[in-house]
Amino acid sequence: MNKKNKMKKGSTLIEALALLTLFSIATLAFYKMYTESAVLILEAKRRLMAVELAAERMEQLRNVPYDELIDTGTVGGQINRDEFMTINNVVFRIITHINYIDDPIDGLAGADTNNNINDYKRVRVFVLWSKGADNGVAEVNAIGSNYEKYRIDLTSTFIPPTGFEGVVAEYGILSINVVDSEGAPIMGATVDILCDECNTDVGTVDFTSSEMTDANGSVTISVPPSYFGTQDTENYEITVAKLGYQTTKTYERYNGVSQNYEPLNTHLTVQRGRRTVETFVMDKVHTFPLQVMDPYCENIVGVHQLDYEGGRIIGTNPITIPNETIYDLDDFFVNTTFTTNGATGAVDIQTDTDLNGSIDALDEASSGVYELNITDFESNNPSLTFWKMRPNNGYYRNKLYLGGTISPSPCNFIVMDETVDSLQVIVVDSNTGFPIKNASVRVQNTVLGYVASEETDEFGRTYFPNDKNVPLVQDVYDIRISKSGYSTYNGTKDTTSGGLNGLTVSMTP
| φ, ψ of residue 8 in degrees (nearest 5) | -65, -45
DSSP class of 487: P
**Residue 75 confidence (pLDDT):** 61
- Comparing CA positions, the residue from 450, 438, 506, 437 lying closest to residue 478 is 450
The amino acid that residue 273 corresponds to is G
- Residue 104 pLDDT: 67
Residues 492 and 444: their CA atoms lie apart, in Å, by: 9
CA-closest candidate to residue 336, choices 303, 293, 370, 287: 370
- The secondary structure of 373-392, three-state, reads CHHHHHHHCCCEEEEEECCC
Kind plus residue range of the DSSP H or E element containing 219: strand 218-223
Name residue 505's amino acid.
V
CA distance 172 to 227: 10
How many whole angstroms separate alpha carbon 389 and alpha carbon 371? 9
Q: Report the pLDDT value the prediction gives residue 490, as an integer from 0 to 100.
A: 96
Q: Which amino acid is at 287?
A: T
Amino acid 157 reads T
Backbone angles phi, psi at 254, to 5 degrees: -60, 130
Q: Rounded to an integer, what distance in angstroms lies between the CA atom of residue 232 and that of residue 253?
A: 14
* C-alpha pair distances (Å), 20 with each of 17, 24, 30, 34: 5, 6, 15, 21
CB–CB of 316/324 below 8 Å?
Answer: yes
Sign of the alpha-carbon torsion through 428, 434, 440, 442: positive
Three-state DSSP class for residue 267:
coil
Angle among Cα 432, 435, 440 to the nearest 5 degrees reads 125
Q: In terms of C-beta density within 10 A (0-12 exposed, 13-18 middle, 19 or more buried), how is residue 17 classed?
A: exposed
Distance CA 67, CA 98 (A): 12
The per-residue pLDDT for 89 is 84
Distance CA 159, CA 162 (A): 8
Q: Which one, of 48, 273, 55, lies nearest residue 155 by Cα?
A: 55
Cis peptide before 161 (omega within 30 of 0): no
449: left (phi over 0), alpha (psi -120 to 50) or beta: left
Task: Report yes or no: 136 and 93 within 8 Å, Cβ to Cβ.
Answer: no
Degrees (nearest 5) of the Cα angle 319, 266, 210? 155
| DSSP one-letter string for 48-108 | HHHHHHHHHHHHHHHTS-GGG--BTTSTT--B-SEEEEEETTEEEEEEEEEEEE--GGG-S
Alpha carbon of residue 163 to chain centroid:
34
- Residue 47, SS3? helix
**pLDDT at residue 7, as a whole number:** 47
Please work out, in degrees rounded to the nearest 5, the angle formed at the alpha carbon of residue 57 by the alpha carbons of 51 and 62.
125
The tens-digit pLDDT sequence of the chain (509 residues) is 444 444 454 557 676 666 666 666 656 655 555 455 566 677 778 888 888 888 888 888 888 887 788 888 766 678 888 888 888 888 888 888 888 776 665 555 555 555 555 677 888 888 888 765 565 554 544 554 455 677 888 888 887 765 544 433 467 778 899 998 888 899 999 999 998 878 766 667 788 888 999 888 988 887 888 875 445 678 899 999 999 899 999 999 998 888 888 999 999 998 876 778 899 999 888 887 788 889 999 888 888 888 888 888 889 998 988 888 888 887 666 666 677 776 667 777 777 777 777 676 777 788 888 888 899 889 988 999 999 988 877 789 998 888 766 656 778 889 999 999 999 999 999 999 999 999 999 999 999 999 999 999 999 999 999 998 999 999 999 999 999 999 999 999 999 999 999 999 999 99
Handedness of CA 193, 325, 310, 255 (dihedral sign): negative
- For residues 294 and 345, what is the distance between their CA atoms, to the nearest angstrom? 11
